[in-house]
Amino acid sequence: VLDLGRMSATSQLYGIAQTVDDTLDKIQYDLEHPDEGVKTGIPELDQRLMALRPGGLYVLAARPGAGKTSFALTLVEHIAGHPEHRNGVLFFSLEVDRLDLVKKLLSATARLDFRSIEKGLLDAGQQDQLTAACEAMKTWDLSLMDVSDLTVSALRAIVKRKQLESKGGLKLIVIDYLQLLNGSRPDMNEYEKVSEISRVLKVLAREMRIPIMALSQMSRDSEKGTGGTPREPRLSDLRGSG
C-alpha cells in the first residue's frame, strides 16, 4: 500500500533545489518559445491582463443588462474570427438561444442595428451586408452550445471531448453565465454552488491549459455609492460568492 501511495502524483513532494532548477528550465523555455497567450483584440485589456493566459480563470461581471454577453461576443469575434491567426472558441450559452447569439454577432460584424435584424427591417444594401457577414462568420473557429440545464461536471466532460476532437485547437472557453450552471447536488445553496463551480472551472483551466472566461451576475450592493456616484466594484459584489 505504501508503494502504491508513492506512485500517486498527488502525494509527490518536491525539494526546493529541484523546484528552482525546474523553474529556471521553464523560464529558459519561455524565453526561447514565448507564449503571448490569447489576445482579446483590445490592446488596453491585453496590456492589463497580459492577454488571456493558459490555465487562467477570468470572471467578467456586471449587473443585468450592462452588456456582458455583447462584450464577450466582441472578444469571441476578435479571437475566433481573426483573419490571420484564428483560435478555437467554445461558447456555452445557458441563457440565450444560439440563434439569438448569432444574431447579436451578425449585428456587430455587419454593423447593423439588432432590432432591424430581429424585425426583418433591412433594405437591399443592408441585406447584402448581412449576407457578407454570414459568409465571413462561417469560417470562424467557433462552437456554440445552448443548454438551460447543465452541471459543471457535464461541462467538464464536454470541454475535454472538444479538446480531443480539435486536437489541441481549442484556445478559449466562455460560459454565459456562471450562476446558471448547476452544482453536483440539487440541494446546494447558492454559495456552495458558486464555490464548487468556480473551483472546478479553475482546476479545468489549469488541467487543460486553456483560459476560461465565466460571465457572472453582481449583487445589488455593487450599485451603492455616494452622492449618486457608483463605487468601484469589489470581489464581494460577485453574486453568491460569499
Query: Is a pLDDT exceeding 70 seen at residue 35?
Result: no
Q: Which of 174, 218, 175, 224 is nearest to 62 (CA)?
A: 218
- Average pLDDT (115-120) is 76
- Average pLDDT (14-36) is 86
pLDDT the model gives residue 242: 61
Binned at pLDDT 50, 70 and 90, residue 225 comes out as low
Query: Is a pLDDT exceeding 80 seen at residue 196?
Result: yes
Written as nine digits, the cell of 23 is 523553474
Question: Is 0.95 topped by the overall pTM?
Answer: no
Q: Identify the residue with better confidence: 69 or 226.
A: 69
- Average pLDDT (106-111) is 80
Query: Is a pLDDT exceeding 90 seen at residue 20?
Result: yes
Query: Is a pLDDT exceeding 90 seen at residue 24?
Result: yes
